[in-house]
Amino acid sequence: MSVLFTPIKLRGLELANRIVVSPMCQYSAENGAANDWHFTHINTLALSGAAMFCIEATHVEPIGRITPGCLGLWDDATEAALVPILTSVRKHSKTAIAMQLAHAGRKGSSHKPWDGGQQIAPASGGWQTVAPSAVPHKDGELAPEALDTDGLARIRDAFVSAAQRAARLGIDAIELHAAHGYLLHQFLSPLANRRSDAYGGSLENRMRYPLELFDAVRSVFPADKPVGVRVSATDWVDGGWDLDQTIVFAQELKRRDVDWIDVSSGGVSPLQKITLGPGYQVPFAAAVKQATGLPTMAVGLITQAQQAEEIVASGKADMVALARGMLYDPRWGWHAAAELGGQVAAPPQYWRSQPSTQKELFGRTTFGAR
């Protein structure tokens, strides 16, 4: 029996399998609001066979966006834009819908990746970014403003407000983005955090603000719905954030009843040196799981069904989250189920698509068509 296609329960949310569609920035919003591109994108991947789809990094204030095209959830307009999309998903799919709440910090005010991804100067339509310290992401960029007490409170309140809006939208789970060099990761990493107050210096101090944000979001999101955290397990730079610190952070989150740790890596420094390969980040997820006992998600170049099965069956992670693999094959979950002998939920309009050799794929053996 395929372990990948066994259920897992996260608080009151029961997932039918261990496959997650990873949050993937689309850089296609208009003033933070979702539009017809998001309608197509989300509805398509909600039929992938994954038990949970996570909406892309959804920013909690306008200056927290990576690019001018990034998704947001900071006012009534951005909230209302998601309603028809989620209504359609609920009508046609059984997948759970999560949302990744994020703030880009010093990596904000950037061009879209296909436009070069470089920082946009305020005079050219960009904005002044903020960060733990006035240290730019890379040489030549406009330095961010170091957050003062009021700024820290404003962003914390923005996360709380976004979580409340997500709850009102009926979102099933929240993931806080503390990875890839964005604001919460910037607080964690000594490469970005040069503060000398209670939020900088020691590991305890560098963890303080991300932990405060987690507590604030957890306190306003429904108690029966899970909240997880995505982390970068290492900066891939000597003297930066590393796996040992990640484990300490995960242990602190465990004390606060976090529901999963989504284990990625990198993003805080252009000096990073990463050796890419299939499943290259899986050992990080395994280490966090072993040290903490927390449910973990493995991410990063997971593309094959047998590869995903081995990760979960061997206990290296509890779930696998796919990004590029899902974009390339929007029915990845169906094909993995066919290969591994699992079942997936699919709309009845598609039941007759299953190959004659896979009559159990959708849990239906006959269709009764004329």
* Predicted local confidence at residue 359, as pLDDT: 65
Q: What is the pLDDT of residue 370?
A: 39
Q: Identify the pLDDT of residue 250.
A: 98
Gyration radius of the chain's alpha carbons: 20
Number of separate domains in the chain: 1
- Distances from the Cα of 367 to the Cα of 182, 345, 363, angstroms: 49, 15, 11
Q: Is residue 48 in some structural domain?
A: yes
Please tell me the predicted confidence (pLDDT) of residue 351.
87
Helix crossing, 76-92 with 36-45: angle to 10°?
Answer: 30
Please tell me the predicted confidence (pLDDT) of residue 306: 97
The answer to whether position 365 is within a domain reads no
Domain annotation covers residue 264: yes
Task: Work out the angle at residue 186's Cα, subtended by the Cα atoms of residues 288 and 148, and round it to the nearest 5 degrees.
Answer: 135
Contact (Cβ atoms closer than 8 angstroms) between residue 241 and residue 211: no
In a domain, 49, yes or no: yes
Whole-prediction pTM? 0.95
Q: Is residue 64 part of a domain?
A: yes
* Bridge-based pairing state of the strands 13-15 and 8-10: antiparallel
Is the residue at 358 inside a domain? Answer: no
Indicate which CATH number applies to the domain containing 136: 3.20.20.70
Which amino acid is present at 155? Answer: I
Owning domain of residue 280: 8-353
Residue 28: its pLDDT value, please? 98
pLDDT for 365: 41
Catalytic residue among 27, 182, 199, 209: 182
- With respect to residue 361, please indicate whether it lies within any of the assigned structural domains: no
Percent of the chain at pLDDT > 70 equals: 97
Look up residue 67 and give its two tokens. Answer: 């690019």
204 assigned to some structural domain: yes
Q: What is the pLDDT of residue 368?
A: 37
pLDDT under 70 in the chain at which residues?
Answer: 356-359, 363-370
Contacts of 149 (CB under 8 A, 6+ apart): none
Three-class SS of residue 1?
Answer: coil
Is 182 among the residues known to form the active site? yes
**Spatial separation of the C-alpha atoms in residues 7 and 289, rounded to whole Å:** 18
